[in-house]
Chains A and B, each alone.
Chain A
Amino acid sequence: MTHMTRRAFGVTLAAGAAATLLARPAAALDLASAKALIDRAIGEVNSVINSGKSETAMYRDFERIFAKYADVSAIARSALGPAARTASAAQMSAFTKAYQGYISRKYGRRFREFIGGRIEVVDAKPLKSYFEVISVAHLQGEAPFDLRWHVSNKSGRDLFFNIIIEGVNMLASEREEIGSMLKQQKGDIDALTAALATA
């Protein structure tokens, strides 16, 4: 349904931007806007995947898309887990910045498998205090698989904060990973931030 040509995608993006500028009451997040957010994000991911750019250029693009559509600070805080409560504001801001680069590189690398494929939004439904947008990834020579996005507006804007790939939950996986890294750094958040910058 949302497999767009690049032109259609451009039009949608322009329309989306116009809508954002024109009417932006602090309306509660609804199904349509949650779905529209993921439609736009996927449109951008699809165009990067098929752009034929170099891999490093793609990572930069993914990082940009990620920062634009994901609630990076909520994801970073959740990934850090209980340690986030004891960290200072300066530590959190440095960690969030390093984490944003780290996660875009990491997931950017995985997006490589999507080259030549496409992602399609098929459904959306309310889930607890947020929305779940359901999409299907069609990759070359492979059975289509399930990709879900959790979207919230608790940050003041519609942003996604979790991706579930065939049941595998990104936030849960990140918590496990960042928790292990923090343990390796003996609980030192500054050392963890430094390690993330090079990971």
Chain B
Amino acid sequence: MSYPLKTGLLQDCGKHWALAGIVSASLAACAGPAPTSEPYDPLEDTNRSIHAFNKGLDTVVARPASKAYGAILPQPVKTGVANFASNLELPGNVVNGVLQGDVEGAGKNTLRFIMNSTFGVAGIFDPAREFDLPQEKTDFGETLYVWGVGEGAYLELPVLGPRTTRDAVGDVVDIFTNPVSNVLPTTEGYYATAAGVGSKLGDRDRYSQTIDSVLYDSADSYSQSRLLYLQNRRFDLGQQPAEGEDDFIDPYAE
């Protein structure tokens, strides 16, 4: 019974990883220079239209839904949903950690996953926190960065929001190679998706002040989002800017 299931799975994963390999190889060929402080945004017009669409979507769907989510559910439930969703990210984080040669991070995430999936009741609670084992978040976009792939252009994707070309490709690979969605049966898969959506709504509600101020209070929400995304993403990756192109401004030298 489990034999065909398992082989099917392996074949499936194998296919996806082959795809990942091809994508990475073709990307690695265009390994780019270190990023500059002036954003590389050749598709700005298209990006701006998508930004307007995303902002509208936030106004009519995400923002009100997150307010309702934040107001209706008690805090322990919201925390449980967020924990459950982040626990399911861990196997993918482990795979990417290994691909980046980050043995320590992959090991910590593995321990965290085992601990929270068992003592934490399928990841609803976070006992690993007590053992100082925070999630070492990573993704295939970071793996590509570690492998020397350049950042590419700035993109704003429908629904998903700001990305770089490298991160957008990383997302696609992460979706198809996610060990969890490859293993979970359909029904459980829906729970995982629902928890992911719930967790996102929780974040939208939690950081509503900051997100609202960027989206609705700034004079040009597109350029503000672009700046925030690029700077924060480069910081997360520990990416070094090109020589003389860092964002550190010396107002006294001007």
Min CB distance, B55 to chain A, in Å?
15
| B residues less than 8 Å from A112 (CB atoms) | 209
In the complex, A130 Cα to B134 Cα: how many Å? 34
Q: Within 8 Å of chain B (Cβ to Cβ): is A128?
A: yes
Known: A109-B213, A112-B209. A167 touches B223 (CB 8 A): no
| A residues less than 8 Å from B248 (CB atoms) | 127-128, 150, 162, 169
Judging by beta carbons under 8 Å apart, are B223 and A180 in contact? yes
Q: Within 8 Å of chain A (Cβ to Cβ): is B31?
A: no
Chain B: CB-nearest residue to A173: B227
Q: Within 8 Å of chain B (Cβ to Cβ): is A88?
A: no
Min CB distance, B101 to chain A, in Å?
23
Stretch at the interface among B159-167, B175-183, B228-236: B228-236
| A residues less than 8 Å from B227 (CB atoms) | 168, 172-173, 176
Q: Within 8 Å of chain A (Cβ to Cβ): is B250?
A: yes
Q: Within 8 Å of chain B (Cβ to Cβ): is A123?
A: no
Q: Within 8 Å of chain A (Cβ to Cβ): is B49?
A: no
**A interface bracket (residues with beta carbon within 8 Å of B):** 35 or more
| A residues less than 8 Å from B217 (CB atoms) | 106, 199
Q: Which residue, B79, B209, B249, B254, has most C-beta atoms of chain A within 10 A?
A: B249
Min CB distance, A130 to chain B, in Å?
7
A138-167, CB under 8 A of B: which get 1 and which 0? Answer: 000101001000101011000001100011
Judging by beta carbons under 8 Å apart, are B219 and A184 in contact? yes
Q: Within 8 Å of chain B (Cβ to Cβ): is A181?
A: yes
Q: Within 8 Å of chain A (Cβ to Cβ): is B46?
A: no
In the complex, A113 Cα to B252 Cα: how many Å? 31
Judging by beta carbons under 8 Å apart, are B79 and A74 in contact? no
| A residues less than 8 Å from B45 (CB atoms) | none
Q: Considering only CB atoms and an 8 Å cut-off, how many residues of chain B contact the other chain?
A: 28
Judging by beta carbons under 8 Å apart, are A110 and B210 in contact? yes
In the complex, A75 Cα to B217 Cα: how many Å? 20
In the complex, A169 Cα to B213 Cα: how many Å? 16
Q: Within 8 Å of chain A (Cβ to Cβ): is B251?
A: yes
Select A130's contact among B220, B224, B250, beta carbons within 8 Å.
Answer: B250
Judging by beta carbons under 8 Å apart, are B224 and A167 in contact? no
B15-33, CB under 8 A of A: which get 1 and which 0? Answer: 0000000000000000000
Judging by beta carbons under 8 Å apart, are A176 and B251 in contact? no
Min CB distance, A3 to chain B, in Å?
19
Known: A74-B252, A176-B220, A180-B219. A167 touches B79 (CB 8 A): no
In the complex, A109 Cα to B134 Cα: how many Å? 29
Judging by beta carbons under 8 Å apart, are B213 and A110 in contact? yes
Chain A: CB-nearest residue to B210: A110
Q: Within 8 Å of chain A (Cβ to Cβ): is B72?
A: no
Min CB distance, B36 to chain A, in Å?
13
Q: Within 8 Å of chain A (Cβ to Cβ): is B193?
A: no
Select A173's contact among B37, B224, B252, B253, beta carbons within 8 Å.
Answer: B224
- Chain A residues in the interface with B (C-beta under 8 A): 71, 74-75, 77-78, 106, 109-110, 112-113, 127-130, 141, 143, 146, 150, 152, 154-155, 161-162, 166-169, 171-173, 175-177, 180-181, 183-184, 199
